[in-house]
């Protein structure tokens, strides 16, 4: 909403806003950054360990192991979401748990769990994409435009070589 469309605050509301701003505790930005770094790094470390297991024990190449690794990470985050563990971890971790693919899976699973009482189609199916739908749309549109730019600046890529 632009500033022009916001309604004018009364003097009492302005006074309250100033008081609320003074009383609001300062956010520990540095501490939040450290927590996000540690948690995001730990998730990536776990993902790397899973990928190494696929490479060494299942005989996958590194490229072949990437897709099942992501699938296992998604499965782990959904299971942790179902037990309520991921949400507690995300409260501590902040953006560190929201940015990796596990955060995306948590968003989808949380919405599905919250609306399961409304039925599978209108509840789970309809509400599951409420938060994650814009992320999917943005990703697809961004990939489209990046692909177009790649073709414009690298026309030799059309031939498949």
DSSP assignment letter at 6:
S
pLDDT tens string 46-72: 999 999 999 999 999 999 999 999 999
Total-model pTM: 0.69
Domain ranges of the chain: 37-153
> Is the pLDDT reported for residue 3 higher than 60?
no
Mean pLDDT of the chain: 86
């Amino acid at each position: 909403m632009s500033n022009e469309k916001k309604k004018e605050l009364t003097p009492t509301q302005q006074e309250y806003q100033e008081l609320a701003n003074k009383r609001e505790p300062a956010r520990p930005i540095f501490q939040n950054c450290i927590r996000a770094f540690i948690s995001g790094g730990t998730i990536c470390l776990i993902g790397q360990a899973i990928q190494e297991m696929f490479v060494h024990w299942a005989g996958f190449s590194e490229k072949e192991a990437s897709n099942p690794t992501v699938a296992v990470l998604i499965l782990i985050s959904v299971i942790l979401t179902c037990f309520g563990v991921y949400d507690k971890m995300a409260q501590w971790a902040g953006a560190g748990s929201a940015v990796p693919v596990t955060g995306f899976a948590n968003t989808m699973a949380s919405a599905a769990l919250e609306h399961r009482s409304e039925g599978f189609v209108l509840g789970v199916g309809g509400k599951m994409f409420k938060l994650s739908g814009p992320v999917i749309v943005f990703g697809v549109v961004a990939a489209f435009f990046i692909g177009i730019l790649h073709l414009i600046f690298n026309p030799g890529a059309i031939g498949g070589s």
